[in-house]
Amino acid sequence: MVGAACALYAARAGLDVTVVDRGPVAGGTTGAGEGNLLVSDKEPGPELDLAQLSGRLWEELAGEYGEIFEYEAKGGVVVASTSDGLAALERFAEGQRAAGVVADKVTGGGLYDLEPHLAPGLPGGVHYPQDSQVMPALAAAHLLKASGARLLTGRTVTDVLRTADGEVRGVRTDRGDLHAPAVVNAAGTWGAELAARAGTSLPVLPRRGFVLVTEPLPRLVRHKVYAADYVADVASDSAALQTSPVVEGTAAGPILIGASRERVGFDRTFSLAAVRALAAGATGLFPFLAGVHALRSYVGFRPYMPDHLPAIGPDPRVPGLFHACGHEGAGIGLATGTGHLIAQALTAKTPDLDLAPFRPDRFPEEAA
């Protein structure tokens, strides 16, 4: 998704773009996650700024291709289970409002007007009308197509070619060399490997997540609905298993239940503990789910960075190398803003956002 967005905005900026992927389109984490475009889970700061920029760009793209990639501006509802939890959520929302996020407090009956099938007795929550959703694999495929970029799939980058002065001059692949004055590392969870091939470092690590998929149902869940503790889980640095319920209906009918988080390397083994915790959390929010069949689960590896911010922009250690990876659990939402900023950096324009918080060389060398 991130590579597709970089290709689109770079091509629109007039550059000649080739996209190289060792797999098919959306064969990485993009094909193994969900497609929420969220502001609700982000505190004021650089990630929220990027989410707001990205949200505007997604909205623009939706005007052109929204139906194709199932763009749905359905809004999010964050639910508190106790009055203390509601007060904390409201404080969090207050900060977001100051940063320009639309965050409406909902209490009592208001919550059930938004989501009639929620468990009874919940004290309230916050409604975020700006949260929206796309179907990630379709979005990646269509942005690539719209970019007009040359697409080389089934081709692995084995090295980044550099001049004697250390400047990038292209990539070596398992099927020949490609020459270019600039290379964008959009290798997601594998961004550390690609950085190493260019002789530099980036501490991207996999953070595993399972999603549970139900049988197709009528639209009983209207928004993206999640428990207030989700925000703390997302921000956590712990490697241990964390699950907080995130429930959303889809246009096709199945309800998606996420989202677990744990750092266990690239282990694809099914985890009953993770999936059971997801089911328990979801039925706690929506009791009707207890009578619904789960059809399957799937697993993906989020590109985790130690400070939960992606690397976006030129790498001062390797002239001609740019990074656009490490977006963890928000790479679909943040892809458009990232692509736009990368295109600005590639064409030496002043970026719309300050790239300093996203600098690829912000980590001490030993962390990489």
Ligand X SMILES: Cc1cc2nc3c(=O)[nH]c(=O)nc-3n(C[C@H](O)[C@H](O)[C@H](O)COP(=O)(O)OP(=O)(O)OC[C@H]3O[C@@H](n4cnc5c(N)ncnc54)[C@H](O)[C@@H]3O)c2cc1C
Residues forming the site for ligand X (CB under 6 A): 1-3, 20-23, 27-30, 32-36, 156-157, 186-190, 194, 209, 211, 258-259, 300, 302-303, 325, 327-333
Q: Which is nearer to ligand X, 105 or 263 (CB)?
A: 263
Q: What distance in Å separates the CA atoms of residue 134 and residue 81, rounded to the nearest whole number?
A: 28
Asked if 19 and 9 touch (Cβ cutoff 8 Å), the reply is: no
3-state secondary structure of 106: strand
Shortest Å, Cβ 302 to ligand X = 5
Shortest Å, Cβ 155 to ligand X = 7
Shortest Å, Cβ 181 to ligand X = 19
Q: What distance in Å separates the CA atoms of residue 234 and residue 328, rounded to the nearest whole number?
A: 9
Q: Which is nearer to ligand X, 255 or 325 (CB)?
A: 325
Q: Which is nearer to ligand X, 124 or 329 (CB)?
A: 329
Q: Which is nearer to ligand X, 74 or 86 (CB)?
A: 74
Shortest Å, Cβ 123 to ligand X = 26
Shortest Å, Cβ 84 to ligand X = 27
Shortest Å, Cβ 121 to ligand X = 28
Angle at 3 between CA 180 and CA 73, to 5 degrees: 150
With tokens 């290379």, the residue in question is 183
Asked if 352 and 57 touch (Cβ cutoff 8 Å), the reply is: no
Q: Which is nearer to ligand X, 124 or 191 (CB)?
A: 191
Q: What distance in Å separates the CA atoms of residue 342 and residue 179, rounded to the nearest whole number?
A: 19
Q: Which is nearer to ligand X, 47 or 86 (CB)?
A: 47
Q: What distance in Å separates the CA atoms of residue 183 and residue 199, rounded to the nearest whole number?
A: 13
Asked if 168 and 183 touch (Cβ cutoff 8 Å), the reply is: yes
Q: What distance in Å separates the CA atoms of residue 267 and residue 308, rounded to the nearest whole number?
A: 21
CB-based contacts of 272, cutoff 8 Å, min separation 6: none
Shortest Å, Cβ 329 to ligand X = 5
Report the candidate in 123, 115, 347 with the shortest Cα–Cα distance to residue 228. 123
3-state secondary structure of 301: strand
Q: Which is nearer to ligand X, 1 or 355 (CB)?
A: 1
Shortest Å, Cβ 149 to ligand X = 14
CB-based contacts of 54, cutoff 8 Å, min separation 6: 37, 333, 334, 335, 336, 337, 338
Joined tokens for residue 125: 């929550």
Q: What distance in Å separates the CA atoms of residue 92 and residue 304, rounded to the nearest whole number?
A: 23
Question: Do β-strands 183-185 and 321-325 pair in parallel, antiparallel, or remain unpaired?
Answer: parallel
Shortest Å, Cβ 120 to ligand X = 27
Angle at 47 between CA 236 and CA 362, to 5 degrees: 80
Report the candidate in 183, 127, 160 with the shortest Cα–Cα distance to residue 345. 183
Q: Which is nearer to ligand X, 183 or 187 (CB)?
A: 187
